[in-house]
Amino acid sequence: MDFEQTWAILASAFTQIHEKQASKLSFEELYRNAYKIVLKKKGDELYLRVAEFERDWLSSEIERRIHKELPPQLMNALQGRSSAGSVGDDQVRTQGERFLRQLKLAWEDHQTCMSMLTDVLMYMDRVYCADTRRPSIFTTAMSLFRDCILRSHVRGDDSWPDICGTLNHVILDQIRMERDGDFIDKHLIKANVYMLEGLYDSHHEVEEEKLYLTSFEYEFLASSAEFYRALGDRLLKESDAGQYCRETRKRIDEENDRCRSTLLESTTPKIQKVVEDELIRYRMKDLIESESGVRFMITNERHDDLALVFDLEARVDPRKPELTKALQKIILEMGTNLNDAAQLGAAAEAPEDRAKAPADKLVNQQTVAALKWVEDVLELKDKFDAMWKQSFQSDQTIHTAIMRSSAEFINSHPRCAEYMSLFIDDNMKKGIKGKTELEIEALLNKAIVLLRYVQEKDVFELYYKKHLGKRLLMGRSLSIDVEKQMIFRMKMELGNNFTAKLEGMFKDMTLSEELTAGYKGYVARLGDADPRRIDLAINVLTSMTWPVETTNSAPDDARESRLKTIYPPAMERIRQGFENYYKEKYSGRMLDWKGNMGTVDVKVTFPKVPSKGFKERRHELNVSTYAMLILLLFNDLPSGASLSLEEIQARTNIPTNELVRNLQSLAVAPKTRILLKEPMSKDVKDTDKFFFNEGFMGKFHKVKIGIVSAGNRIENDRERVETEKKNNDSRGYAIEAAVVRIMKQRKELSHQQLVTETITQLNSQFKPDVNMIKKRIESLIEREYLERIEDSPSSSYRYLA
């Protein structure tokens, strides 16, 4: 066998294969010749000859075909693209496509031919290459394509990029056109991408060295970053934030599609990151804070746009820091506005109107402002809740942010606890009238949600007790059922401790009803069926459960309160009667009668006043117990006689401030002037004289004589100072109790740890003041509950059992 002769047969056949004229060739003949060469141990030579043959073919014929498609003006256009596009897009595009088509063709031909050659050379591949560990001839031929074609320079000019670089430029140029809205031949690009994917940077065929990665993808990502940076600049300047978001979404989707249809899917996450970086991550702050940003969207209820902002930021950071920050800022601002408005509503009219408007009216205005504040807070909360569901996919991070900022502005209102309690009070008295069960349910829920925000739960409890007490005693609650539901909810939310006393109040009310009924029966059984007997309805209140102001008289009258109120004999009899009955049932209990809390229906006959043409009139007056005592004094007085304030006080022992208040409602309030005062003025002085007003004329048979400040309304300054003082006292006790509890368990503890644990324990009730904790610790040391540990590095305490 002659090698050269055999090779000549093969070489001529290979040429025909490359020229696509293989159909006359016999596979067997070619195979047999190659087989014989290898069998004669000339595999090495055959291998080299084939490689040489391919090299020649590629660098003459194929290279010529490719280079022909790269005229100088295309090369210049591709190079000069960044500075000035002198050649028309259309021409560049057509020429580029022709180049892509030619390259695609060359690559596909090369693969087809080499696959045929590989078949013919199967024996060489399997025997010679395997024995000598050479790469298969196919692999070698692919590398040759890379070296001879992709690494060649057009017309041998090194100043221009090689074919591979040119290919990148052409593809990137086409992608640029598509990004600008043109249609391009995606399949054509994809075919070339597959070529880059099939070739490696060197003969080490490792995944990371695919030409697609080393040559193309890097440039694609870099040029994309540049493109989107510029686009971001432009969009921020020219579009509003909503448009920006929509455009960004569109661009991300487009890049995904492009990877699928034109490039490779493995690029998807990388290009996404580029777009996300350029259009979202680096821009989010500017976008959110722009004029048409989140504030604008919230004000104008652009829920879809907000959802887009959320969606975009969530892509780059699950914590959504910019959106969260913006939301918090906006909520805080809106909340602070509400707080300011409430303060303005409560205070603005006060100074100038004080002279004219009665104090009552002012207080009412303030109460209205307080209620409005709560309503506004609820509305704000609803707005953001709706937004949270609609636009923010009920996201946990956003929820926390909304909660936090809401809590912050609500608690920054110094009287939030009082306002919330007033709000519930108002609803219990009026709000729930005519509402369905479902609506009431929603209302209760709202109240509880608000309550959750209030930090000073103890202050709230104080007010709630006070307001609830008045509602219960004055029968102002529309539904005890709803009241109980509210308590139940508070119990679920804040625990047993919080509601124990409130529940006690309800228990007292029930017991009192039983007592009243029981007493009625008791009296009936006594057989003392006095037709003029006075009906008695009684409420027995446990002194520790109810708010102090209901069970105690005003504290500044400490001396007077110890004096026993003098009841007229008829009343005294009933009082004794009930006390006897009560002591029979519960021995060893002290009953303390509260004249300031009760009301009495009094039948009054006003005589004829001929001078005014008045007939005799009968009225049923509903007055406070104290007012009744005052009125009864006038029963024994001849017509036209008067009593001074001092005289009244001497005969009744009513505490001064209560007396003044009752006299004001009896003698000053224009519609219920049962008494006349001399001199006629608003203030009540010790020396004033009071007459029975025989000329009283009421429109209705029944007249209710309210007592100033009887209803639940906002506290005045003096009352608030009192409430604060009371609250501080009870906080002091709570702190001491917590400290003792902790120390009893831990025996020894450093100061810092003790303070931290105390704060943790009390957190659900209120946020304790560190200074207060310090003072309480000092006090406990003085009282020898604790002692300082002398030689300890940090200040520490020991529990003294």
Distance CA(410)–CA(450), nearest Å, equals 9
Q: Which of 7, 123, 464, 626 binds another protein (CB under 8 A)?
A: 123
Shorter beta-carbon distance to another protein: residue 52 or 119: 119
Three state DSSP letters for 729-784: HHHHHHHHHHHHHHHHHHCEEEHHHHHHHHHHHHCCCCCCCHHHHHHHHHHHHHCC
Q: How far is the CB of 39 from another protein (least distance, A)?
A: 7
Q: Which of 4, 5, 23, 158 binds another protein (CB under 8 A)?
A: 23
Assess 26 for contact with another protein (CB under 8 A). yes
CB-CB neighbours of 319 under 10 Å: 11
Q: How far is the CB of 752 from another protein (least distance, A)?
A: 59
Q: Which of 11, 32, 81, 708 binds another protein (CB under 8 A)?
A: 32
User: Does residue 574 come out as left (phi exceeding 0), alpha (psi in the -120 to 50 range) or beta?
Assistant: alpha
Shorter beta-carbon distance to another protein: residue 132 or 795: 132
Q: How far is the CB of 139 from another protein (least distance, A)?
A: 14
CA 252 to chain centre: 29
Shorter beta-carbon distance to another protein: residue 32 or 404: 32
Distance CA(539)–CA(445), nearest Å, equals 31
Q: Which of 41, 356, 532, 701 binds another protein (CB under 8 A)?
A: 41
- Stretches 17-25, 72-80, 101-109, 510-518: which one binds another protein (CB under 8 A)? 17-25
Shorter beta-carbon distance to another protein: residue 22 or 574: 22
343's CB contacts (< 8 A; 6+ apart) are none
Is 191 in contact with 108 (CB distance < 8 Å)?
yes
Assess 496 for contact with another protein (CB under 8 A). no
Is 51 in contact with 141 (CB distance < 8 Å)?
yes
Name beta bridge partners: 345.
none
Shorter beta-carbon distance to another protein: residue 28 or 678: 28
Name the residue among 596, 595, 539 with its Cα closest to residue 567.
595
Assess 31 for contact with another protein (CB under 8 A). yes
Assess 5 for contact with another protein (CB under 8 A). no
- DSSP state for residue 259 in the 8-state scheme: H
Shorter beta-carbon distance to another protein: residue 133 or 618: 133
Cα 674-678-679 angle, rounded to 5 deg: 130
Determine phi and psi for 701, rounding to 5 degrees: -65, -45
Assess 64 for contact with another protein (CB under 8 A). no
Shorter beta-carbon distance to another protein: residue 39 or 721: 39
Q: How far is the CB of 46 from another protein (least distance, A)?
A: 14
Assess 19 for contact with another protein (CB under 8 A). no
- Stretches 32-40, 165-173, 347-355, 734-742: which one binds another protein (CB under 8 A)? 32-40
Assess 202 for contact with another protein (CB under 8 A). no
Q: How far is the CB of 105 from another protein (least distance, A)?
A: 17
Assess 153 for contact with another protein (CB under 8 A). no
Q: How many CA atoms lie within 13 A of 163 on its CB side?
A: 31
- Stretches 118-126, 214-222, 389-397, 689-697: which one binds another protein (CB under 8 A)? 118-126
Assess 733 for contact with another protein (CB under 8 A). no
Burial of 732 (0-12, 13-18, 19+ CB in 10 A): middle
Give first-to-last CA distance, the chain, whole Å: 114
Shorter beta-carbon distance to another protein: residue 132 or 299: 132
Q: Of all helices (H) and strands (E), which one includes residue 104?
A: helix 89-120
Assess 650 for contact with another protein (CB under 8 A). no
Distance CA(341)–CA(348), nearest Å, equals 10
Q: How many residues bind another protein (CB under 8 A)?
A: 27
Distance CA(98)–CA(648), nearest Å, equals 116
Assess 35 for contact with another protein (CB under 8 A). yes
Assess 108 for contact with another protein (CB under 8 A). no
Distance CA(62)–CA(768), nearest Å, equals 86
Distance CA(162)–CA(165), nearest Å, equals 5
Written as six digits, the tokens of 130 are 């395997």
Name the residue among 15, 96, 24 with its Cα closest to residue 61.
15
Q: Which of residues 127-146 bind another protein (CB under 8 A)?
A: 127, 130-133
Assess 25 for contact with another protein (CB under 8 A). yes
- Stretches 25-33, 171-179, 622-630, 641-649: which one binds another protein (CB under 8 A)? 25-33
Q: Which of residues 243-302 bind another protein (CB under 8 A)?
A: none
Q: How far is the CB of 26 from another protein (least distance, A)?
A: 5
Q: How far is the CB of 133 from another protein (least distance, A)?
A: 6
Q: Which of 119, 439, 514, 678 binds another protein (CB under 8 A)?
A: 119
- Stretches 36-44, 475-483, 594-602, 693-701: which one binds another protein (CB under 8 A)? 36-44
Assess 24 for contact with another protein (CB under 8 A). yes
Shorter beta-carbon distance to another protein: residue 31 or 691: 31
Query: Which whole-number Å values give the CA distances from 484 to 490, 505, 558, 561, 726, in the listed order?
Result: 10, 11, 35, 33, 26
Assess 39 for contact with another protein (CB under 8 A). yes
Q: Of all helices (H) and strands (E), which one includes residue 511?
A: helix 496-526
CB-CB neighbours of 770 under 10 Å: 11
Strand 599-606 relative to strand 617-624: parallel, antiparallel, unpaired? antiparallel
Q: How far is the CB of 140 from another protein (least distance, A)?
A: 13
Q: Which of 8, 12, 27, 778 binds another protein (CB under 8 A)?
A: 27
- Indicate the residue type of 530: D
Q: How far is the CB of 199 from another protein (least distance, A)?
A: 19
Going 435 to 437 to 442 to 448, the CA torsion angle's sign is positive
User: Applying CB under 8 A, which residues contact another protein?
Assistant: 17, 22-29, 31-32, 35, 38-39, 41, 115-116, 119-120, 122-123, 126-127, 130-133
